[in-house]
Structures are given as C-alpha cells and as structure tokens.
Structure 1
C-alpha cells in the first residue's frame, strides 16, 4: 500500500494537515490528455486508478465511477495521457481486461489474461481497428465497455430471431448459409410474454443481404428414423440455424420469427406438378415418395383442404425425366401401410408397395397400355387418389420413352 498525492494549485496558502480521501479525486476535465466516458453493465473489479492498457502498455487510468441516471448501468470516467490520446477515435473498442478468461471445448482449453497487473487489480484494454476514423475533437467521447475482447471486436450486425423453444440452442450456436458460417448466437432470453425464446444473433457475413424482409431462418436438428437419417453431423457439432436470404432486395429488418421446419424447397424445383384428390389425407405428408413400378419418380410437396372442405388436395411433383409416364388415363393410389386379402380357397395374401411406403407413407400410380393411356398429363391436372389399386392396374405395362 502507498499514499498518492496530487499537488494543489499554485498560489494556494501553505498547509501542514490534510485528510486523506478514500479514493483518488477525478481529474479536472481541463487537464491535458483525453477524457472519456465508458458505460458498462457492471463494475467488476474496476476501481479508481485501474490502468487503461494499449498493447499491454499503460496509457491512462480510471478516474471515477458512478451509476447512470436511471441506475441501469455503471458510468466510468477515464483519462488517457496526452502522448497517447491519438490512439483513440470513433472506431476504438474497450473491454474489461480484468481476471482470467477460461474456455474449454473439444479442441482443448484456452486460458487468457491481459497482464499480472490486471489480474490482481483490474483494468481496461482497447484497440482501434480504423486509425483514420474521426476523433470527435472538442467533446467527451462515450464508449461501451465490453465484457471481453471477442465481444468488443466482433464485427457484424445484431438481429433478433424468435424461436418456439431454446432446446439444444446455446450461446455460440452457428448460423449457416450453404454450409458456411455467417453468424453466431450471442445470448438467449425469454420473450416478454414467456411464450417463446428470443435469440440475439450477430451476422458477420452478408449482413446487408440477410437483414432484409423475406429472409427466413430455421433450426437444423438431427433426424433419425427407420428409413431416414439426416443432419447427423449435428449429433456431434450441435444444432445450428440455417438462413435463406430474401430473393429480392426488400426493406431492412432486424427482427425475425424462425420457421418450425425447413421451407419447402420443391417450390423452386422443376417438374410436372399435379393435384391428387382424396377423401382423407391418411399418412401422406410432404416429402413422401411417388413411385412407378416401385421406382421413386416424384414426391408429395404439400396438401390442403379443397374449396368445399369435403376433399383433401395433395400436391405432388414428378421429376422432369419421368413426366411422360403420367397420362390422362393414369391411376393413383395410396401405397401406405399393408393390404391383406383373405379368402377360403385362395388363402391370405399380404401386399405392400415397399418398406419405405410402409413406414413413412407413399403414393403409387400406373398408366394403361398404349391404346388407352391417353394424352400427356397437363401441369396442375387433378387425378383421383384411390385407397387401393385394382388388379387390372397392376397388369398394365405400357412402353413409354423417358426424357433424356
């Protein structure tokens, strides 16, 4: 411990008895050097006299601290020595350099400390990314005091994404586009109505294109079933957010609501689009296959109730190469589940289209032989979806040349 002294003004009367202050008095704003104001959520181990460091060189000190007017933040008065004042401009970022930062993960353990002095007594460090930025001469500059260096120097744009729940999402969860990292979740919080979770995300790449009206986000999770395995990498790396930037340049936006699942990519895919009309949906859902002779040739992309709500309209997409297979005389049926035929003399016959259709559902179709098949199906044409095929349909074997 030691006693510090600041000499009185010249011309003051002599004095031999003094009362020591509990902490150093703040400098007069007229004193040489640069006077700054920093705002922080908490004081931490900072105190009057804590050093201000640039490249681990002491260039100033904390002069004072107090609560803000609304008591929501801590306001610190900082002084930079005159010979170092040129190091600070509007691009400067300050962070709390006190104590030790410890990070652990699959790649090992990382231990960081600014200096022994800040480890024991606390301190603030700063960097100036753009030395040519404006300096704000003639006024007291105000800066945020970040929690650490990574937070202070992180580039990008801050946005908010509302999700139904935060299961599997943590600070550090990545935001990806086409497999590349374009952002990261910084923190999570409950919404004011407690009905959802708000993700505070920093977009670091293509921020101007992503922060637009029409951009969509969704959570990518592992999918495991008897017939499907997808996104297995997330079992190791964890869940992540996928982003689909707006197709056209829309208005700027920083608040989004995440989709419950990945958007239907089939909307942009090419092929023959047809509508199947059925009395009920059954186990049909987007993504199930449409097969011809047990060969997948298309898929279900959507379903909806008909105009009078007495039918279900199932939208399917046939791949371009297989579009000639569908003719006006084609017959579609629900291939989901197992069909059982039993008789006194013919015994029991078990029928299923395929294991995949048995577990996930599916649709099959057949086309009559050449004289009865009719003309090519037209885009948007509607066909009836039967519950099961007739025996005669299973015997059809037309010769149809496929597109190359």
Structure 2
C-alpha cells in the first residue's frame, strides 16, 4: 500500500528494489536495514510517462539518474576484471566517485561501466583524462629485485578504477555522458611515444617487452609480435618513447643484439642474462617520417666514419673472410675487413678492407695480399712435413695478410680504392721481403 500522494509517480520508469544490509570489501550498504529490517526503496520516474500499476523489482539499486549532481561517464573495457557496482574511482588514491553499473556493450565486444564522479571533483576530468583498472597487484621482476605495486588496499581486495589527467587545461567534452576507454594498467593508459613496426627474419629470443636501446639507454619497447601474412618473417610492433623525431624517420636502422661466443671472440654476453634486445641507430640526416622498418642482419658499418686507407681485394671465393676479420702485416694487425660483395659480372668476390692511417704507407702498388685463414701444409720426400699458419686467430676466424717487396719492386704508395688480387696461398719469396718503410706518427 502506497501513500495516495505518490500516485503521480507510479509511471513508466519508476524503479523499485529491495534494500538489504550488505557488507563487502567495496563498502557497507543498507546499514539502516540492520535496525529496521529489509524494506523496498523507490525512485520515481518522469511524471509525464504513462501510468502503471504492475512493476518488477530490480535485483539491486539502479545507477544514479543522469540528472543527479556530478559527472556521469561511460568507460569501455575489454574485460570486467574484479570491478563491481560500488567499486571506487580514485584520483591520486583519493576516492572521488564510484562504479554505478556494468553491462555488455551493444556489439557484445566490450564491457561498459557506468561511472559517477562526485560534483566537487568533476573538474578533474577532461578530454586528456586516462582511466585504468587499478584492481589487484602488479609484479615486476629483474636482476635488481622484485617490485610489487598496488593502487590501494581497497583496490587490491575489491577492485577499483584510477585516473590521471595529464593536461588540466585540456577542453571538456560537450556530450551529456562522455565516453572513455578503460585501460588494463597505468602503464598502458599513460604510454607516450610513436608506434613503429620492425620486420625481422625470426622472433627467436624476442617477446613483448623486449627493449629497444640507443647508446645503452632504453628508448622504447616491443609491444606485440605477429607473423607476416606470408609466414616468411615476423613483425614487431614497437613503441618509441624517447628521441621519437630522430628515430621515426627514413635512414634509421634497427638490428637485434644477441650473444656471440666463439673460441676467439665473446661479445654481448650480458644478453645471456638480460635477454636479447634491439639496438637502433637514428638517422643522422633529416629525412621523411617513417614508421615501418626492416631490421638489419648486422650492426651498420661503423667504419663509414673511420679514417684510413680503403682498398679492394679481388678473390675467386670468399672463404672464411667476413667483416671484422683482421688484416695483418708481419703478424701485426694493421687493418680489417669491412665488407664483401660479388663483382659486377659475378665471377669474383670483392673484399673491402680498411688499413689504419698509421700503417697506410706499408701498402705499395707492388704489395701482395693472401688469404691467411686455416693451415697450410707442405710435404716433401726429403724435407718432411711443414705446417704453416699466420696466427691462431687467423686459423680460427680467418684473416688476410700482406707483404710489400724491397726496392725498387715495391712501387709507389697505394691509392684509395685501388684493387689488389687476393691469393689463396703465400709464396716463400713474399715472406722474405723486409722493406724499410717509415710509418706515420
């Protein structure tokens, strides 16, 4: 039985629900029902709606009417998580509102949360505001220790939503109920930077979270990894957060840094513990903006800026020669291999070398170069067996040696870009050459 004065409110849109005492981690509701007993609460509808006499009580209290003071928002999330009606909305760990309702979105692909911000805190929300699910805890582990993070004890137990407004002076929406995305974490909600894609031959050793570094500093991370449509490569979806303008442009190079262990060389051993990462070399010229890259198979040739005498050696085969292999004179390293390629007619291999400036005078037009890799064996009936190798390093990793003849056969100084033949074997005569050549200071 209702008071006759309420008859005008028994219309379509009027809500009834049973109030029961409820104690949960999100709070205490219906406390007065502990004393008075359960009762039926009512929220009148619009007096202009058609009158009704039959109603179905709601299972719980309806969300606040949009006409109620304060700010009403809708947040969309991929999952509900542990959020409940009554879960707090926090700003700097201060409760400024509550979750009023949740339901599936119209396309059933997301969860829509109805949120109310109290009137005195409504000014904290504008178009730059980012909301995230602050429920539970976040664990981060590494060599430096384990970090445990939670927004508050209440959100740890009962769930909650936190938000931040990076630009307090940003404009405010003009819709009656503004819509926002509800991100899975603070890191995702507030992430900045530029998104890039990097194509690599294989994802071996790479995963979401893999660091992108420049000069030892982290400038971004890999966020997602997918196979290409033709299944021939892997695409890394990355976000660059520092030096974005210099990195996200044409000319920038990426490559994967992984451990290298051999009998004579050990490099990047820290990746055995920390995992592989991507190194980036930003473009040194102002190029067009670019957001899609293909990772290089090896670091870019730093020798492009190195000084010295650059020469080309022509050989029938490459053998074990590769960039970084030592070029020696009398078993003293004086240069290195910088690159190799097929000749214009593909019948020769052209090996590019760099001789250090101080040792450049050693190379003359009459110099002879030979492949010093591996072991040479000379056997004779009377002389026995003679084993010859340039050095242990050349034996294991390959190498190139050269000698210059005595006057007058040595000729003039070699010219930059000059081509020499690379012989497969050394002649004993070359090993006896010992010209006196002054080195640069």
TM-score w.r.t. the length of structure 1 is 0.92
Looking at structure 2, the residues matched to 308 and 326 of structure 1 have their Cα atoms a distance apart, in angstroms, of 27
Match of 2:16 in 1: none
Which one of 318, 322, 345 corresponds to residue 281 of structure 1?
A: 318
Residues 22-63 of structure 1 deviation map (CA, whole Å, 9 limit, x = unaligned): 354344444432232323221212233322111222212223
CA RMSD of aligned residues (A): 2.5
Measured after TM superposition, the shift of residue 257 of structure 1 is 2.0
Alignment of 1:64-143 (within 5 A): 64-138=101-175, 140-143=177-180
For 1:135 and 1:129, locate their aligned partners in 2 and report how far apart those are by CA, in whole Å: 13
Residue 22 of structure 1 pairs with residue 51 of structure 2? no
Matched, 1:258 2:306: no
Q: Distance in 2 between matches of 1:195 and 1:43?
A: 37
The range that moved more, 199-208 or 328-337, is 199-208
Task: Pick closer, same or farther for the CA change 1:299–1:23 going to 2, 3 Å.
Answer: farther
Q: In the aligned structure 1, how far is the partner of 2:42 from the partner of 2:386?
A: 102
Residue 372 of structure 1 and its aligned partner are, at CA, apart by 1.6
Shift of 1:15: 10
Shift of 1:18: 5.8
Output the CA distance in 2 between the equivalents of 1:111 and 1:27. Answer: 35
- In the alignment, what sits opposite 2:197? 160
1:341 matched to which residue of 2?
378
CA distance in 2, matches of 1:248, 1:24: 63
Per-residue CA deviations over 1:263-289 (Å, capped at 9, x if unaligned) read: 222233222111111111111112111
Counterparts of 1:212-361 in structure 2, within 5 Å, are 212-361=249-398
Q: 1:27 to 1:213 in 2, by over 3 A?
A: farther
**Compared CA separation, residues 168 and 159, structure 1 to 2 (3 A):** same
CA displacement 1:338-362 (0-9 Å, x = unmatched): 1111112211111000011111111
Q: 1:399 to 1:140 in 2, by over 3 A?
A: farther
Q: Deviations over 1:252-307 (max 9, x none)?
A: 22222222221222233222111111111111112111111111111111112222
Assess, with a 3 A threshold, how the Cα gap between structure 1 residues 148 and 339 changes in structure 2: closer, same or farther: same
CA–CA distance in 1 between the matches of 2:358 and 2:177? 70
Task: Report which stretch shifted further, 277-286 or 24-33.
Answer: 24-33
Q: Give 3-state SS (helix, strand or coil) of 2:254's partner.
A: strand
After TM superposition, the structure 1 stretch with the greater mean CA deviation from structure 2, 360-369 or 167-176, is 167-176
Partner Cα separation in structure 2 for residue 188 and residue 259 of structure 1: 17
| Counterpart position of 2:34 | none
Q: Which deviations, in whole Å up to 9, do the C-alpha atoms of 1:65-113 show, x marking residues without a partner? A: 3444554433333221221111112222211011222333333333333
SS state at 1:60 partner: strand
Unaligned ranges ≥5, structure 2:
1-21, 23-28, 31-39
C-alpha separation in 1, matches of 2:161 and 2:299:
44
Q: Is the 8 A contact 1:97 1:124 kept in 2?
A: yes
Give distance in 2, aligned partners of 1:78 and 1:368.
88
| Deviation of the 1:366 alpha carbon | 0.4
Q: Is the 8 A contact 1:24 1:49 kept in 2?
A: no
Partner residue in 2 for 1:401 = 438
**TM-score normalised by structure 2 residue count:** 0.84
CA distance in 1, matches of 2:93, 2:321: 65
CA 1:64/1:159 → structure 2, altered by over 3 Å: closer, same or farther? farther
| 2:43 paired residue number | 7
Correspondences of 1:170-249 after superposition (within 5 Å): 170-249=207-286
- The residue aligned with 1:364 is 401
- 2-side partners of 1:110 and 1:306: how far apart? 56
**Is the radius of gyration larger for structure 1 or structure 2?**
2
1:385 maps to which residue?
422
Q: Structure 1: which 5+ runs fail to align? A: none
